Amino acid sequence: MSATVEFQNVQMSFEEDVLLKNINFQIHKGEKFVLIGPSGEGKSVLLKLMAGILKPSEGKILIEGHDMWNCLPKDRLALLRKMGMLFQKNALFDSLTVGENVAFPMREITQKSEQEIQKQVKYFLQEVDILHALELFPDEISGGMQKRLGIARALALEPGIIFYDDPTAGLDPITSRMIVELILRLQKELNSTIIAITNDMNRAYQMADRMAMVVDGELIITGNVGETQQHKDPRVVQFIHGYLKGPLTEHTEVNA
Amino acid sequence: MLNKMVGIIDDIGGVTLFMKEVFRTGIKTPCTFSEIMDQTWKVTIQSLSTTAMAGFFVGAIMTVQFTLQVSQFGALGYLGGLATSGTIREVGPLLIAFMLSGKVGAFTSAELGTMRVTEQIDAIKCLGANPIQEIILPRFVGIILSSFFLLTIGLFMSIWGGLLMGIVFSGISIEEYVRHIPNIVSPVSIVTGLFKCFVFAFVLASICTYKGYNATGGAKGVGKAVVDTAVFTMIGIVIADWVTSAIGESVMELFLK
């Protein structure tokens, strides 16, 4: 399998603080890769690095073999257009209607006619089952529908790589499951590569071909679901089982 | 104190680099005419009534102040000319720009700041579009156009406010009020006033878009961006007023020679 996303010695610092150090990994085409890890350890930053929103302090990020930050602006744009992202808080354009949110990337990026765009908008909204909300604004629909809308917008340019930043955050268990099933169905239909962050272990096991944990500035590739469940690293063990005591809570009140 | 100075220098550098990026984007990939008109219309409609009212009362205040001075010398006939000149060249643009900085500046930086902290700007980047082109450029040009238009409307209203107060408060006729306006209010005064309007609009647009676009840290960050916008815009406008006044005086001297 060829690498769709590849990190080579990537380091990310904010001023003096090193958040991610010496990150090396590959994600293959069509793979479902899930990132887990405690809050504030840099999972979202890692996702934003992959999505080209943040520039690494050091190292290379290759998307389909092309260095994202060492190419011509037009080539970078072409790479960006191969990717879609669902943000943690959806990042919907609140001044645009549901339909306009999905149409936005097509209007800005493609040369499609308005008729074609409207047809595509209806297709994607139908796919995520919120076509009835076409004319509503994002703040007029429920949290679950906002997630669906975020997914529809991420899919609008029919990208090969889709990033999901905590797609089930703030949703009830039934809606969470429905969203994950929707993500998996769309992944199958579009044969896309998905990279998702979640702290809901059940949903992580449901989605993942392969998993990794971000902790202490490192990326621990934990393997497939079975391998992750049997992993020996005490940090991984504590996190996936949700134990209060262990290396992740060494300096917190709970452990003290 | 030293940290504050460093912060201010950092902000000046930040605004300059941000403007460079805005101009570069404007030249390379300009936004559409309809987007600019849309923003211009939004800002104008939002602030037209308050600007007109503020302008009216600025003119009225100037007339009241000048009445007290000129009546001591029996020179009420010069009231209209002096009040109008002072309003057009100095007080009008300054006070109306202050009001706009509170309304247009705060609104824009809050809107952009919210877009930043809710990751809408990241979403635009992620879709392969340029947020400077998509959201900053139309607002920047729209604010300059509408602020210039609003300041001009405000100045026009200030003349009416001054005239009404001249009749009501000072007891002079319309003819008396306007008689010396053409002698005292020179074309250079009008050009200086309009030039100031343009410069203030530029200062307002650049600071509010910069502060909003670079907001960080959730609701608190948006609040800070709005406060910073109000403070920095007012300071920027006062400094710009001083610079443009100096330029205006030099131009005036050239004309008088």
Substitution target in A15, A88, A94, A157 with the highest count of B β-carbons within 10 Å is: A94
Residue ranges per structural domain of chain A: 3-82+159-249
Kindly state whether A137 is in contact with chain B, defined as any CB-CB distance less than 8 angstroms.
no
Q: Do B127 and A109 touch (CB under 8 A)?
A: yes
Asked if residue B104 is part of any domain, the answer here is: yes
At residue A1, the pLDDT reads 55
- Could you report the per-residue pLDDT of A166-176, keeping only the tens digit for each? 988 888 888 88
CA angle (B22, B26, B28) in 5-degree steps: 115
Write the single-letter amino acid at A186: L
Kindly state whether A83 is in contact with chain B, defined as any CB-CB distance less than 8 angstroms.
yes
HSE-up of residue B90 (Cα within 13 Å, Cβ side): 9
Asked if residue B183 is part of any domain, the answer here is: yes
- Which of A130-144, B76-90, B213-227 has the least mean pLDDT? B76-90
- For the record, the structure tokens of A65 come out as 């073999």
Query: A3-82+159-249, what's its fold?
Result: Rossmann fold (3.40.50)
Token match 């003349």: residue?
A: B159
A212 vs B1: CA distance, rounded Å = 46
Q: Do A93 and B123 touch (CB under 8 A)?
A: yes
Q: Which residues pair with A36 in a beta bridge?
A: A213
Cβ pairs bridging A and B (under 8 Å):
50
**Rounded mean pLDDT of B53-82?**
88
Asked if residue B63 is part of any domain, the answer here is: yes
Domain limits at B146? 33-245
User: Using a CB cutoff of 8 Å and minimum separation of 24, what contacts does A21-24 make?
Assistant: A21/A217, A21/A218, A22/A59, A22/A218, A23/A59, A23/A218, A23/A219, A24/A219
Q: Do B127 and A105 touch (CB under 8 A)?
A: yes
HSE-up of residue A139 (Cα within 13 Å, Cβ side): 4
Please give the tally of structural domains in chain B.
1
DSSP for A91-144?
---TTS-HHHHHHHHHHHH----HHHHHHHHHHHHHHTT-GGGTTS-GGGS-HH
Q: Quick one: DSSP state of residue A56?
A: -
Asked if residue B210 is part of any domain, the answer here is: yes
User: Using a CB cutoff of 8 Å and minimum separation of 24, what contacts does B249-255 make?
Assistant: B251/B188, B251/B191, B251/B192, B252/B186, B252/B188, B252/B192, B255/B186, B255/B188
At residue A192, the pLDDT reads 93
Q: What is the pTM (predicted TM-score) of this model?
A: 0.82
Token match 């308050």: residue?
A: B50
- Could you report the per-residue pLDDT of A46-62, keeping only the tens digit for each? 999 999 989 999 999 99
Q: Do B126 and A83 touch (CB under 8 A)?
A: yes
Indicate if the pLDDT at residue A253 is higher than 80.
no
Which residue in chain A has the smallest CA separation from B131? Answer: A108
Mean pLDDT of chain B: 88
- For the record, the structure tokens of A232 come out as 């020996």
